Amino acid sequence: MLPFGDRRHLAATALATHSADMTIMPPVDDSSFALGGTTVTSATRSRRSLRALCFVLLAALATSCGYNEVIDRDESVKAAWAEVQNQYKRRADLVPNLVNTVKASANFEKETLEAVIKARASATQVTVDASTIDDPAKLQQFERAQAQLGGALGRLLVTAEKYPDLKASAQFRDLQAQLEGTENRISVARNRYIESVAEYNKTVLRFPSSLGASIRGKKERPSFAGDPANEAAPTVKF
């Protein structure tokens, strides 16, 4: 048995050896962790959270400022305008057949007939494109030309009452009925367009939807301003 002093020496030596063999672990940095082989740091997580927050805020802003409402109103105006163009074109397409039918009647007033032909030519020569509904001058020119054609057709139908042979023509009566029906559809299309522009302008001018309009670069639009009587369907009794 070793003396007490030797035992103390051996114990101290063993403890020193064991301490030297131990590996000191570095402190754990909880600012990063491995995800699928990729280290994601707290800074990365912060950036992702910030992007997600920005997306939510932008979506909320787009809704509250009327951004989507401006799009809806804009599309409604375009659809209404397309219908207006369609009905005016339908009327213009009826004119050549009407003119040819009237020409067949002897001694029909030449001045009245020529006025219709001239008015149709003027109406069809007006350039109409996507910018027309945003340009007051172009819209006014279009409306004026269509009003002149409508007036000339109305005078022609009234004048035709003086010609019994023309009134007795089945072809003329059919064209006259088609024309009056088209005039009615034009009136409906015009009213719908005026209403859609009014709703669009309210959205563009009122806050906060005016913010969405500014983002999209949308401004107040002109509307039809002529006398509605110029576009009314002529009433003729045969």
Identify whether 25 is part of a domain: no
Identify whether 190 is part of a domain: yes
Identify whether 164 is part of a domain: yes
Into how many domains does the chain fold?
1
Identify whether 78 is part of a domain: yes
Q: What is the largest CA-CA distance in the chain?
A: 153
**What tokens appear for 26 in the block?**
């570095």
How high is the pLDDT of residue 229? 47
* CB 217 within 8 Å of CB 73: no
Identify whether 134 is part of a domain: yes
The CATH number covering residue 149 comes to: 1.20.1440.20
How high is the pLDDT of residue 13? 56
pLDDT tens profile 37-64? 555 567 776 777 677 656 555 554 545 5
Low-confidence ranges of the chain (pLDDT < 70): 1-41, 45, 49, 52-65, 106, 226-238
Identify whether 46 is part of a domain: no
Total residues belonging to the chain: 238
How high is the pLDDT of residue 70? 92
Identify whether 124 is part of a domain: yes
**What tokens appear for 206 in the block?**
């009122």
Write out the residue range of the structural domain in which residue 161 sits. 62-231
How high is the pLDDT of residue 238? 34
Residue 210 to residues 63, 64, 90, 124, Cα–Cα distance (Å): 12, 11, 37, 36
Phi and psi at 159, nearest 5°, equal: -65, -35
Phi and psi at 88, nearest 5°, equal: -65, -40
How high is the pLDDT of residue 234? 45
Preceding peptide of 208 cis, ω within 30° = yes
- CB within 8 A of 109, min separation 6: which ones? 159
Identify whether 1 is part of a domain: no
